[in-house]
Structure 1
Amino acid sequence: MSAADVAEVVARSRRFVRDVVIPAEPLTGTPLDPEARAALQRQARAAGVFAPHVPVELGGLGLPLTAWSPVFQEAGYSPIGPAVLNCMAPDEGNMLLLERLATPAQRESFLVPLAAGDVRSSFAMTEPHPGAGSDPAALATVAHRRGGRWVIDGEKRFISGAEEAAFAIVMARTPDLGERAATMFLVPMDAPGVEIGHAIRTLETAITGGHPHVRYHGVEVGEEAVLGTPGEAFRHAQLRLGPARLTHCMRWLGLARRAQDTALDRVRSRELFGHPLGELGLAQALLADSEIDLASSAALIDRAAASLVADPREGATASSLAKVHVSEAVGRVIDRAVQLCGGDGVTHELPLLGFLNEVRPFRVYDGSSETHRWAIARRAIARRRAEVEDGEAALDVAEGAR
């Protein structure tokens, strides 16, 4: 796809979100009704902006990962935009995983309806403490072989979208395949033994379908439910987690841009002490810092996307860098917009408080900022150690050649 083609998709998405989606936004703090979402998705499909990341043969626009950011930012300009364009978590990440790993039968049963927006999905990895959270290796849910089937037992929590999902991709330890082996399973939400438990109330509402506990009591599935290679769930998860971190960054960066636009409109129209607010140095400093946060965030996202395509191993570090920076930068941008809008900024007359609620959890979701900082630092130390050791080895070789 050419740069001109991508630019046209960006322009169409921009018009659609501003002309159709924003006027349809529910009240702040109110999730999008499923029937309203379905109606808006039909309009998105007619406007040529539906499922920008999905391959053309599945009804999407076929954009490569390196072209997602500007389109996802336009979708994210509205909290409900990504759901309307069918590029919202967790469905978007699950589509990518299914596209890469699913068998032909799994594609037909799970990926095709998900890409069309006909069903929702969830990704069941996170568990109550001391199970898997920021550390996936702590996975406690277990699947054992029984005859020619698998039996899954365990409890998950914070399973986004589960209340509306038709199926989940379930991560479970499979000790029959090795002490540290884990496997992914495609499990319908109406399978016997699946129970949606306590509904966890959170700050944000853009991800509809809640974040409940989900329990698996002796859930039986066949070999056809295994997604990817048995025992390779941790490796397969990286196919999803790296890009999914970036798409969160893209969507919420779009919301931060809308907050900045709101602030820019306010400082142009508001006078203070006899001068337009935008001419006051303190206001200009806040606006400038937000412009810097927006630009640096976009650059880190683009760098990480290119790295994931070129070298997934290097891309993991780049996506961690982007995730930490963007998750904190978007909060700063929206908070400054609240400040610049004064009294209106802290009311529901403007949508900024809702925006703050949407982005604050991102510093925890997809690995906390602290977890990513720990990983970033470890990789940097290891990289420098290798550089020094390689340099010393080269010096020893040179000395020995004399």
Structure 2
Amino acid sequence: MVCFACFTVQAQPSEQAIQISQKYIILDSHIDVPYRLHKEWEDVTVATKSGDFDYPRAVKGGLNAPFMSIYTPASIGKSNQSTKTANQLIDSVEKIVATAPDKFAIAKTVSDVQKQFQQGLISLPMGMENGSPLQGSMENLKHFYDRGIRYITLAHSQSNDIADSSYDVRRQWHGLSPFGKELIKEMNKLGMMVDISHVSDEAFYQVLEISEAPVIASHSSLRQFTPGFERNMNDAMLKALAKNGGVVQINFGSSFVSQYANSWYDLMKVKRKKTENKYGIDSPQVKAFDEKYRRETPFPYATMDTVLDHIDHVVKVVGIDYVGIGSDFDGVGDSLPEGLKDVSTYPNLIQGLLDRGYSEEDIAKILSGNFLRVWGEVEAFAQKH
């Protein structure tokens, strides 16, 4: 029986936690390595000085299947540049594998992940964050499926030609576009997971009405702890997702799991607006403002317990079979919680779960079992259709 009280996680993971991290597949459904490397290339097959991911840290943390996020910014969403960028990011993942085939391998199926785990390789499955690279084309959907994309986060920070974004006040579709509704059906037929992270509540419920296969939230947390933050999921959505057979993968970012951190960003944005309007969002003046603001108003990092509270809440509301991890490493900048700063720290999370009374069997479900179940069911649906 899991106790839902608060605990203090010990400074170092126990030998039991470390053993569990090496015994079971750890699948993290959202890590932004490709876009990080797109901005500035580093060889992540060896130790790197920056970022949250590299091979030595992944091995230390027991990470076996990090979904590489093929992310394209909303700012280029209405141009062919988004399609070009997505292909370039996939190229970069293939380059990682080509550089170190003794360490990494592309994974396109659940079976690939399981076989490569047995071979001692780190699997690199891929998910597309922001469906804009499809450019409204089912041919592009098939192209990206063939290249290895196994889920699509329908929208990102702005609404696109597929769905409304939770961040965008302009609800042009009131959920999904006509193309978006057809896209869900085609993704089901192909065996590609539908990801409802980032979309509006209306879009979320429309996805569940249309999809005949389970869906995922690849990197979302819970509105229970961040009231009013639509990017996260409320309890009604959790229940609907569980009824669908899907899974929510908890985002580690402090602003996703902590109301204090979330409000800190909101206040900074309000105070920064005058400087943005005068000099531009990417100006040196805005960068200087951010640095000064951080010095004078330190960021309230979340703790390990905050993240564990989100996992506990999912289990309390819908059960152990519908929660996993989607850290958003390399995607949330300097906002990761204490104790979960990079991919070497999964044993810390495991220790926290042990301290809260989770069994080894339940921990294995959270680490990968639940997500692999959903992925397998999506594959099975496609094979029958």
TM-score (norm 2): 0.26
Q: Name the one with the larger helix percent.
A: 1
Larger Rg: 1
Higher relative contact order (CA 8 A, sep 6+): 2
TM-score (norm 1): 0.25
